[in-house]
A and B are shown apart, each in its own frame.
Chain A
């Protein structure tokens, strides 16, 4: 047969079509999620201890090929779009604590862990943390990883120089109310020129809200951000500004980091995981820090969960893996590797948790975070808290950084919240 351009073109197209069909056929053969022994676990950088992940792979090697994938970037968006797309959904998915509000109303996308025997583990975990993983209809979506008890990080030498208590126990008891805390800030400003106790006004506002039992939207989809608990948080934040104990800097900026290093911002109210941020952000301050209890009552910030998606073909096996990875011993390892403070109180007494931390001058930080974690009270987690809390955070930041009038700021926040509530279908 004589060769021709047309003939070659036909042959090429036929080959392409055959390849495409082959791909399509093999694509159809693979169910969503995993195949055979494959089991996929999604988590983010710092979300789990790499040591524990590696050990889990080795431990369950005979029954499954555990494939643990670190997902970078916008983790929640990627997980949501993957679930919505109904393709390549992981079997086990990490869920960030601050995103639980988005997952809980969609509990039908996950397997109810109670059906796999989760209840018998309940007693080993912090009860408030356990409850946070449960949807309104009682479905247990998330199994606890870590929690984020908030404490008062401070540079003891600056406190000593300011004539304030500087040993952890003395700071915990001496600054145990917001008024005493603010008084200490005023004294700091007088004795140490240029020093401010806290970086930003939002750390007061948000911690006061977080240490309470209510937030911005309740279980009945009713806006409660204009009620007494938020008004009080707002008033305390404004007082902190007016008494000049907060700076006008923004967290995470070079200005803030250099001020911390110079001892001009000696305090932070931050979660247990923030110790890694401090160590990485201002490494030269090693040995200068101590940790004490925060005023009134500990708040919680962050803390994640593992879930089993509906796409998982072997949920019993997945549950076995999850419960092993998140037992007391492995959670203690998670703290050492990744700063993941355990949600299992039994971990607190284990050797890795009792090590002296040189960065904190040899202090055993578990002695502060452990008791704090067990005293935490948490609010109902509404999917509308983010949208309806944002105007308040924006406006209090305007008061702190831009010097906006607090009354005007509150009024602006309230009118924005009403608009957003109406838009989202939240009553007020």
Chain B
């Protein structure tokens, strides 16, 4: 019997093809991410460009635009009200931020060492941050009012003359700062708490073995290791504070014919953004409003650069 030998059928070799070009290979990926960029282009980039264009014109919002060249910026640089609003913003930011960071740090350390009701405390401290700014500004307006306010009642009780908080330049700034401090302390305490929990417990154990007390431990271990978190909080507080708007607006608005963006007597509480709103929407001066907005942008950029330098120095 002969052995039948079978050869497998021939397999056709695929013909070589050219590789697809880059964009054709990945087009579906571009399509997947395009919604964000299209929206950004239409609602982010275009308005920015248009406001820059607008800052070289005079426009009341309804009529025709009138070319004004650099005069809007020249006016901005010599506008004492704009510089006053920058000063106000910085003072209020400082009065609010430094006490806030101190309080937040203390709160975070206490929260970190809490054993019972830990979650409840965290929620309680976080509540001010999610409360309506408008409602709280009205409450603070009552607390700090001259004749009927709680703050002056306390001051009178300890023999101090009452302060016209909402009618004096420094009183206005302190009141706004108190409101902002109250609002942000809890939020930043939670952030500090997160930072605290990244510190290895071995360091504390070693310190305890070496006989360090709680104060020494805080300043030599906790604070240095919290520095990145501290810088983060400072940067965010700076950017947020430079854009403050609702707090002074609601706190200082009146029922008289005066502008709701005036910032109270002497413009003492008029922040940069409030000033921008007053020029743009009270006066219908959209061209100058755009220039003010770019002025604010430059101020924020300047402070961001300062913050960036601080962070960089830490890195070295």
Contact = CB atoms under 8 A, between A and B. Distances in A.
Do A and B actually bind? yes
Interface of A: 6, 9, 13, 74, 76-77, 80-81, 83-84, 98, 102-103, 105-106, 109, 200, 202-203, 206, 248-255, 258-259, 277, 281, 301, 383, 386-387, 390, 393-394, 397-398, 401-402, 404, 416, 419, 423-425
A9 B79 CA distance: 56
B166 A253 contact: yes
Contacts of A424: 58, 285
Given A102-B60, A254-B141, A402 B256 contact: no
B47 to A, nearest CB: 12
Contacts of B254: 250-253
B283 interface: yes
A301 B255 CA distance: 13
A81 B149 CA distance: 41
B260 to A, nearest CB: 10
5 contacts: A250-B256, A250-B264, A397-B266, A402-B169, A424-B285
B167 A248 contact: yes
A394 B257 contact: no
A250 B265 contact: yes
A148 B211 CA distance: 77
Given A74-B281, A84-B61, A102-B60, A394 B262 contact: yes
B250 to A, nearest CB: 12
B28 interface: yes
Contacts of B256: 200, 202-203, 250-252
B253 interface: yes
Contact of A249 (B31, B167, B266, B288): B167
Contacts of B265: 250, 397-398, 401-402
Contact of A81 (B61, B79, B146, B166): B61
B257 A301 contact: yes
A389 to B, nearest CB: 10
- Scoring B62, B75, B148, B149 by chain A CB atoms within 10 A of each residue's CB, the highest score goes to B62
Nearest to A262: B147
Contact of B149 (A254, A383, A394): A254
A393 B266 CA distance: 10
| The 10 nearest A-B residue pairs measured at CB | A252-B255, A251-B256, A252-B254, A106-B62, A401-B265, A254-B145, A80-B61, A387-B283, A258-B148, A255-B145
A251 B166 CA distance: 12
- Scoring A105, A277, A386 by chain B CB atoms within 10 A of each residue's CB, the highest score goes to A386
Given A6-B28, A203-B256, A277-B255, A387 B285 contact: yes
A423 B258 contact: no
Q: What's the dominant secondary structure at chain B's contact region?
A: loop
B217 interface: no
A423 B281 contact: no
A202 B141 CA distance: 21
B255 A383 contact: no
Contacts of B79: 419
Interface of B: 28, 31, 58, 60-63, 71, 75, 78-81, 141-142, 145-149, 164, 166-169, 253-259, 262, 264-267, 281-285, 288
A421 B75 CA distance: 11
Contacts of A202: 256-258
Nearest to B74: A423
Given A13-B31, A252-B253, A394 B267 contact: yes
Given A254-B142, A258-B147, A423-B288, 12 more contacts: A106-B63, A202-B256, A251-B254, A253-B145, A254-B148, A387-B283, A393-B258, A398-B266, A401-B167, A402-B167, A402-B265, A424-B58
B78 to A, nearest CB: 7
B168 A402 contact: yes
Nearest to B143: A254
Contacts of A277: 255
A203 B149 CA distance: 25
Contacts of A301: 257
Contact of A206 (B147, B257, B262): B257
A9 B253 contact: no
B63 A255 contact: no
Contacts of B266: 394, 397-398, 401-402, 404
A130 B250 CA distance: 35
- Scoring B254, B262, B266 by chain A CB atoms within 10 A of each residue's CB, the highest score goes to B254
Given A249-B146, A402-B169, A423-B75, A83 B257 contact: no
B62 A102 contact: yes
A251 B255 contact: yes
A84 B148 contact: no
Nearest to B142: A254
B287 to A, nearest CB: 10
B92 to A, nearest CB: 18
A254 B165 CA distance: 12
B258 A386 contact: no
Contact of B71 (A252, A386, A397, A423): A423
Nearest to A81: B61
Nearest to B28: A9
A336 to B, nearest CB: 22
Given A386-B282, A387-B285, A397-B258, A83 B253 contact: no
Contacts of A74: 281
Contacts of B60: 102, 105-106, 383
